[in-house]
Structure 1
């Protein structure tokens, strides 16, 4: 191998910026988990990431913006998992419901540290209209993504009709979030199969209306 081939490829400016931003978000997750949203500062986050405060402010305008992006990135990760499950037309409906039920249990049982921060930030944001808009926008984006997947899957099965896919997605997401929170409080109240069973009841009710 030549010396030129052995040299690693230099990152582009955009790649370097994206990597720095990701490092800041990783550091923020650690600081927020340790100190809570109210107790954390931009100085803490920058120090944890090994950057200056100025470097942080070149990517984010405030601690609130860091946390909003952190919430969004975690939400996108879980949404991608859910969309992949629902979009897999090779799965039967029962298999899809079982897979979604397992995802509810996984989120509830393994994202506990971040759950505390979500609750803390929700209380912070609910008193501030500008942050409520961010939370609402995030939910709407998730709903729209799920709506598209549900509509496409129904069309493939010849079941599209006049189903209210937006409203259905809203209820499914709310059910997901609610059961996750309840399982964190009392796992016995939310067995692994419950989300799948509840979504089946929902779809059965829609079918009965036709």
Structure 2
């Protein structure tokens, strides 16, 4: 009886750059998990490193401080938001359908209040510690502008009521900062839909559907 040959599995060894990128990814994921449970102030570097499966030294080999790891976490998440919305809207052309889709997305995103709380706690601590700088001040500029560029499609060319950064900022501020996430009243989606529909009705319908 023939004996089946054993197949030797050869695992490719990670390069130093790949290994470092994987370590950073695990630390970022751990930082979010710990922060979601303990809050920003309670999320210690020791706990973040331990739950990621690394030493404290490995943490400091990749990040200079707890503040830096959470800044990067917010930066990464903010870009992902724009990518998500762009994918949701890629097959939609009707402005009202686009507004409805964005409103539904905002409800889904607002159900996880940890992102908004993280930003507030991080900024509050940075102000207190006098570490607030350009990186903090411009943290959401790319996110707001990215969504705003998408929202320009709701309006005729040159007829949008505000610049892209402001348009995107309205949606994201309502999504992440609205008290309606915690109270029994109009939902985040209701607020986003009203804001966008009001702007569309005032500025988007005036050119007989001729949009950019």
**TM-score, normalising length: structure 1:** 0.79
1:107 Cα deviation from its structure 2 partner: 1.2
1:72 is aligned to 75
SS in 2 for 1:61: coil
Q: Write the distance in 2 (CA, Å) between the matches of 1:170 and 1:135.
A: 18
Contact 1:112/1:184 (<8 A) preserved: yes
User: What stretches of structure 1 of length at least 5 have no aligned partner?
Assistant: none
Alpha-carbon distance, 1:96 to partner: 0.8
Query: Kindly tell me: are residues 138 and 191 of structure 1, through their superposed partners in 2, closer, same or farther at Cα, counting changes over 3 Å?
Result: closer
Q: In the alignment, which residue of structure 1 is the partner of 2:105?
A: 103
From the CA coordinates, give the structure whose radius of gyration is larger: 2
Name the structure 2 match of 1:125. 126
Distance (whole Å) between structure 1 residues aligned to residue 150 and residue 175 of structure 2: 22
SS in 2 for 1:138: coil
Output the CA distance in 2 between the equivalents of 1:146 and 1:119: 21
Shift of 1:130: 4.2
1:147 and 1:113, CA in 2 relative to 1: closer, same or farther beyond 3 A? Answer: closer
Correspondence 1:3-152 to 2 at 5 A: 3=7, 6-86=9-89, 88=90, 90-109=92-111, 111-127=112-128, 130-151=131-152
Among residues 193, 202, 206, which one is paired with 2:203 in the alignment? Answer: 206
Unpaired runs of at least 5, structure 2: 208-212
**Residue from 174, 179, 187 that aligns with 1:178:** 174
Q: Which has the higher helix share?
A: 1
> RMSD over aligned Cα, in angstroms?
2.9
Give per-residue Cα distances to partners, 1:156-200, cap 9 Å, x unaligned: x9x32x245862441342343225423212242226344223202
1:15: how far off?
2.0
In structure 1, C-alpha distance between the alignment counterparts of 2:32 and 2:114, rounded to whole Å: 10
Label 1:139 to 1:23 Cα distance change in 2 as closer, same or farther (>3 A).
Answer: same
Whether the aligned pair in 1 keeps the contact of 2:34 and 2:47 (CA below 8 Å) is yes
Q: For the Cα contact (< 8 Å) 1:101–1:196, is it kept in 2?
A: yes
Query: What is the SS of the residue equivalent to 1:118?
Result: helix
2: CA distance between counterparts of 1:15 and 1:94? 44
